[in-house]
Structure 1
Amino acid sequence: MDEARAPAHSMQTLVRGLTARRPPRAGSLIVTVFGDVVMPRGGLIATQSILDVLGLLGLTPGLVRTALSRLTSDGMFERSRAGRHSFYRLSDEAWARYEDASAVIYADARPAWDGGWLVVMLVDGPAASTGAADGDESLRRGLTDLGFAKAGPALYLRPANLGQAERRRLDVLLDDRPALLVDGRGGAIPAGFKATVEGTWGLADLARGYDQFARRYGPLATALDRGAPLDDAEALSLRILVIHDYRLLVLKDPRLPPEILPAGWQGEASRLLCRDLYRRVYAASERWVDAHCTGDHGPLPPPGGLVLERFGG
């Protein structure tokens, strides 16, 4: 049966089919749950509640405990105890990283592009004495995370369409670092430039990922539009899966303006699909969390106000 024409009663089958076809990695999925569900509610959650949430997605308690132990050893989580109960929270460093990621994951539409470009030239720095042309490795990695493409041995560039949070990250990244930032207009886009974008920014795998995302979640959006019932547990499952899959894509996306993207690019369509599904299931998913998840003082506190600003509010 064509999933887009699935009857309402098959909604549960569609949701469960997402994990059956492509089981997500436990550790990565746990990070998604903490960032999306737990952080807005104070950041700390009982181990049993984590097991219950991940159990909705078919992950066994043993698999989840093993992943939590590994992530804790890696510095991602901190574990505490109160009597017979144990609890987890993101470490301060992991919390800060996910806050930066959240500004990208839950972003509204990209700012309009005025034709400007940002160019960063790495100059003499810590790596110069070793002969490494790319300069400071952490600086290079930070520029790549912000969507800069390598245009030469020590040159990185991207369109100047960064959001406010991303521009702040760039300013912090370059503060007192061996780099020169040039911010200015680049003139008219030359003929043939768009043909070089996919290779320059390495977009081929990302393009396939967005296409798969649309095929995977489009049928669920259609089913919901046609009145398919969805209980609270299914709503939370769908919310976690859609934000998890979108997170893995958008954090690799240089978020280029449409003026230079290849034809048929599905990045913005995927953002809108993720946003619409997220809004559709949010209230029901929060009811499940209210009823089943606890912290060190009983039920988790209600989500903070920042969650209301996700995807533009």
Structure 2
Amino acid sequence: MNKQFNTRSMIFTLFGDYIRHYDNVIWIGSLIRLLQEFGHNEQSVRAAISRMNKQGWVESNKIGNKSYYSLTDRGKARMDEASKRIYKTEHPSWDGNWRILVYTIPENKRHLRDELRKELVWSGFGLLSNSCWITPNPLEEQVNRLIDKYDIHEYISFFQASYIGTNDQEELVQKCWNLDEINEKYQLFIQEYSQKYVIDKNKMEKGELSDGSCFVKSALLVHQYRKFLFIDPNLPQELLPNMWLGDSAASLFTDYYKMLNEPAKRFFEQVYNQGEVEKVMEEINK
């Protein structure tokens, strides 16, 4: 299979969807074998996991001559947050208030501004005006984590407020997020994956899909759907347009994922167990 996505991003997908549910640790040999299914070679896997280690997403343990990797607390927190949003069954409830984050990060720390912007977009904040970000969701925990992570307590002001402007809430939302563009991306996802779902469902009923194929299809499905975490602010129902396609996309994703899940897990476990992880966990926890 040709390589379709960058190695680091695929490792995140595997940690989020599989590894964190299996003692949160994997032998590098098993990880290399799994990534081969997507066209990634050993060198690219080792380079990517090394970068993730330096960035604080994973940590390594060496038992004998084998290296094992697990998510750090920071990595677990990110995966937990992502999982809640990917596998959500309903929209977040809204208390009618907005959370407002304002920063005054100096020019000599511009790199922190750039990093913070990326994190805020990922968490679902929208840019209201220069250095002023808003969200209707209670993201206090995520904000505190960001402030601690980048050590920017002195540069951040964080408020909770109600909107009493002359325009309605819909115009406020339109100013901060391009929901029409997001809706178009959901439409493209539905068009592509509804066809794939029908084809693969027919193949599964005929017994024509191997466990390995299901694993690849499932991981790529999650990987593709995970991209919406970077653009969809996960707004409450009250703030969404009437013809919102996010719910239809979520239903399609859930049905497709459930169909592939069991055979995909079988394949993952077959490769994963070659790393003798249970013995390793005993050594780590001694």
Fold agreement, TM-score > 0.5:
yes
User: For 2:159 and 2:97, how far apart are their aligned partners in 1?
Assistant: 10
Q: Is the 8 A contact 2:122 2:229 kept in 1?
A: no
Measured against aligned partners, the alpha-carbon deviations of 1:24-71 in whole angstroms (never above 9, x if no partner) come to 111100111011110011111111111221122222223322322332
Asked whether 1:292 is paired with 2:271, we answer yes
User: For 2:51 and 2:119, how far apart are their aligned partners in 1?
Assistant: 25
User: For 1:206 and 1:248, how far apart are their aligned partners in 2?
Assistant: 11
Give the superposition deviation at 1:287.
Answer: 1.5
User: For 1:299 and 1:252, how far apart are their aligned partners in 2?
Assistant: 41
Alignment map for 1:190-209 (pairs within 5 Å): 190=168, 193=171, 197=174, 200-203=176-179, 206-209=182-185
Higher relative contact order (CA 8 A, sep 6+): 1
Give the superposition deviation at 1:244.
Answer: 1.1
Ranges in structure 1 where 5+ consecutive residues have no aligned partner: 1-15, 302-313
Using structure 2 for the length normalisation, give the TM-score: 0.75
Q: Which runs of 4+ in 1 moved over 6 A?
A: 171-177
Equivalent in the alignment of 1:221 = 197
Measured against aligned partners, the alpha-carbon deviations of 1:96-116 in whole angstroms (never above 9, x if no partner) come to 2222222222222113557x2
User: For 2:253 and 2:129, how far apart are their aligned partners in 1?
Assistant: 35
Asked whether 1:152 is paired with 2:133, we answer no
The worse-fitting range, judged by mean Cα deviation, of 49-58 and 220-229 is 220-229
Equivalent in the alignment of 1:253 = 232
Give the superposition deviation at 1:156.
Answer: 3.5
Equivalent in the alignment of 1:45 = 26
Give the superposition deviation at 1:200.
Answer: 2.8
User: For 2:83 and 2:169, how far apart are their aligned partners in 1?
Assistant: 36
Equivalent in the alignment of 2:75 = 94
Alignment map for 1:138-287 (pairs within 5 Å): 143-153=120-130, 155-158=132-135, 160=136, 162=137, 166=139, 168-169=141-142, 178-184=156-162, 190=168, 193=171, 197=174, 200-203=176-179, 206-226=182-202, 227=205, 229=207, 230-262=209-241, 264-287=243-266
AA partner of residue 271 (structure 1): A
Asked whether 1:65 is paired with 2:37, we answer no
AA partner of residue 146 (structure 1): S
User: For 2:169 and 2:278, how far apart are their aligned partners in 1?
Assistant: 62
User: For 1:83 and 1:146, how far apart are their aligned partners in 2?
Assistant: 40
User: For 1:84 and 1:56, how far apart are their aligned partners in 2?
Assistant: 25
Q: Is the 8 A contact 2:82 2:229 kept in 1?
A: no
Residues 289 and 140 of structure 1, relative CA distance in 2, 3 Å threshold: closer
Question: What is the CA RMSD across the aligned residues, in angstroms?
Answer: 3.7
Q: Is the 8 A contact 1:79 1:87 kept in 2?
A: yes
Residues 266 and 228 of structure 1, relative CA distance in 2, 3 Å threshold: farther
AA partner of residue 255 (structure 1): N
Asked whether 1:107 is paired with 2:119, we answer no
Determine helix, strand or coil for the equivalent of 1:89.
Answer: strand
Higher normalized helix content (fraction of residues): 2
Determine helix, strand or coil for the equivalent of 1:254.
Answer: coil
Equivalent in the alignment of 1:118 = 98
Measured against aligned partners, the alpha-carbon deviations of 1:279-312 in whole angstroms (never above 9, x if no partner) come to 11222222122222134545899xxxxxxxxxxx
The worse-fitting range, judged by mean Cα deviation, of 241-250 and 219-228 is 219-228
Q: Is the 8 A contact 2:92 2:235 kept in 1?
A: no
Give the superposition deviation at 1:267.
Answer: 1.8
Determine helix, strand or coil for the equivalent of 2:70.
Answer: strand
User: For 1:85 and 1:139, how far apart are their aligned partners in 2?
Assistant: 36
Residues 182 and 78 of structure 1, relative CA distance in 2, 3 Å threshold: closer
Percent identical pairs in the alignment equals 24
User: For 1:110 and 1:153, how far apart are their aligned partners in 2?
Assistant: 28
